[in-house]
Amino acid sequence: MKGKFILVIGPSGSGKGTLINHIRPLFPALQYPKSSTTRSMRANEKHGEHYYFLSREEFQSRIESGDFLEWAEYGGHFYGTLASEVMPLLDGGMTALKELEVQGVRQLQKKIPKEELAVIFVNAGSWSEMEARIRARASISETELEKRKERYQDEMNFMSEADFVIENHSGEVDAAKKRFAEVVESLIAG
Ligand code: 5GP
């Protein structure tokens, strides 16, 4: 039997990372395929931990080689999932979970059979709530912030198409963590 690919989406600042960190110790068999990106490394990041940090030239050349299952430009940088990160897991019957933005989800929906995909949307409310969280998390330029705001509505438009929606408004993070863990557990159980 093939495995399942769980996609976690939601606007920048909606708390996807917090929810994913919460479940890491809970489901040891769950796999986390890494992303590749051309954005610069943040202070708390290491190459190959969450991201492979590639130059724009290298990213472009891997697009041309057909190495990416999906890729998108977001906030002026490239982000993508290498097929080699995911297909061996699904072929081996494992469950994998990955955070990505909606253009990538749409590409994966065309490539991976419906029964092997599940989309979880994290909704944390208005742009002003998101903006406060993004600013608190990392130093970010006003230009980059403006780009993320433009993408906010695109991401929100996907909510009605997701298989599951987790509400993660300010002050409700514990309830959101619990609900997220329940949904992931139900997907792992098949
Ligand atoms: P950040 O720069 O904050 O780590 O990520 C910015 C955006 O890129 C987030 O919305 C994140 O979900 C998305 N992202 C991260 N990895 C991938 C990926 O492999 N593919 C796509 N399409 N988006 C990604």
- In CATH, what number is assigned to the domain containing residue 161? 3.40.50.300
- In DSSP terms, which residues pair with 74 in a beta bridge? 77
Instruction: Judge if the beta carbon of residue 14 lies within 6 A of ligand 1.
Output: no
Instruction: Judge if the beta carbon of residue 155 lies within 6 A of ligand 1.
Output: no
Kindly write down the DSSP assignment for every residue of 117-143, as one continuous string: EEEEEEE---HHHHHHHHHHHS---HH
Instruction: Judge if the beta carbon of residue 35 lies within 6 A of ligand 1.
Output: yes
- pLDDT tens-digit series, residues 39-85: 999 988 988 988 999 999 999 999 999 999 999 998 789 999 999 99
Of 183, 147, 152, 145, give the one whose Cα is nearest residue 166: 183
Domain total in the chain:
1
Instruction: Judge if the beta carbon of residue 38 lies within 6 A of ligand 1.
Output: no
pTM of the model: 0.91
Residue 68 burial class via C-beta count within 10 angstroms: exposed 0-12, middle 13-18, buried 19 and up: buried
Domain ranges, residue 181: 4-189
CB 28 within 8 A of CB 117: no
Centroid of ligand 1 to alpha carbon of 68 (angstroms): 14
**Residue whose CA lies nearest to ligand 1 atom number 12:** 100
